[in-house]
Amino acid sequence: DQQVKQNSPSLSVQEGRISILNCDYTNSMFDYFLWYKKYPAEGPTFLISISSIKDKNEDGRFTVFLNKSAKHLSLHIVPSQPGDSAVYFCAASLKTSYDKVIFGPGTSLSVIP
Amino acid sequence: DTAVSQTPKYLVTQMGNDKSIKCEQNLGHDTMYWYKQDSKKFLKIMFSYNNKELIINETVPNRFSPKSPDKAHLNLHINSLELGDSAVYFCASSPDHRNTIYFGEGSWLTVV
């Protein structure tokens, strides 16, 4: 049972435009959400996170939005750069299983110069 | 200086063999993990150790056994390897559950 879903396996965006990566979750107990970025042949690296008490968190070109009622979060990258081309994983953690972070299947972003 | 390092990066081995993947973190974190990324690219947690104690043990075959000699090391031993064990295995660490998880570069295991 997939608790964290990223329904778009891939996304292509023109350089300079906005990239929007979406993530849906099923478990309302999740209280902390993270985005990771992964280049080929490397491990995932942390990008940005958001607590369930907030609905927006911004870090430079990256903004994460959380809609708890819809159990949906999104990552906005603006402006997109070719170096942003990578796989982006959405992840969530449970209040009752504090050591377990559940990852989505990832969305492969290609930023076209 | 690599924060989470794991070896080997690539491993090709025959079915039935026993192999180990080593992991070390120099971040001073209390919690270490093993994740598996399967052919469908899902990243799933296998084990979590906190200060050398097993915290999470997902439904992983008992052919997989983690060993934590100290809180900076978490090795993964796999006995009687099967074709389905082929995957990328990521070691990771974190100071606590709220903070970010720092991943190693992954170990590509291919069982032939």
The pLDDT tens digits for B58-84 are: 778 889 999 999 989 999 999 999 999
Residues 6+ apart with CB under 8 A from B104: A43, B2, B4, B5, B6, B23, B90, B91, B92
- Mean pLDDT in residue range B23-37: 93
Rounded to an integer, what distance in angstroms lies between the CA atom of residue A57 and that of residue A78?
14
Is beta strand B10-13 parallel, antiparallel or unpaired with respect to B107-111? parallel
Please report which confidence band the pLDDT of residue A101 belongs to, taking 50, 70 and 90 as the band edges.
confident
Q: What is the pLDDT of residues A16-48, one digit of tens each?
A: 999 999 999 999 989 889 999 999 989 999 999
Residue B107 CA to residue B111 CA, distance in Å, equals 13
Q: Is B41 an 8 Å CB contact of chain A? A: yes
Phi, psi of A91 (to 5 degrees): -145, 155
Q: What's the whole-number mean pLDDT along residues A59-68? A: 97
Each residue's pLDDT tens digit, B86-102: 999 999 998 865 567 89
Asked if A98's CB is within 8 angstroms of B105's CB, the reply is: no
Spatial separation of the C-alpha atoms in residues B68 and B71, rounded to whole Å: 7
Query: Which residue does chain A place closest to B104, by CA atoms?
Result: A43
Q: Average of pLDDT values for A96-112? A: 84
Task: Tell me the shortest Cα–Cα distance from A16 to chain B, in angstroms.
Answer: 28
Residue B31: list chain A partners with CB under 8 A: 99
State whether A105 and B42 contact (CB < 8 Å).
yes
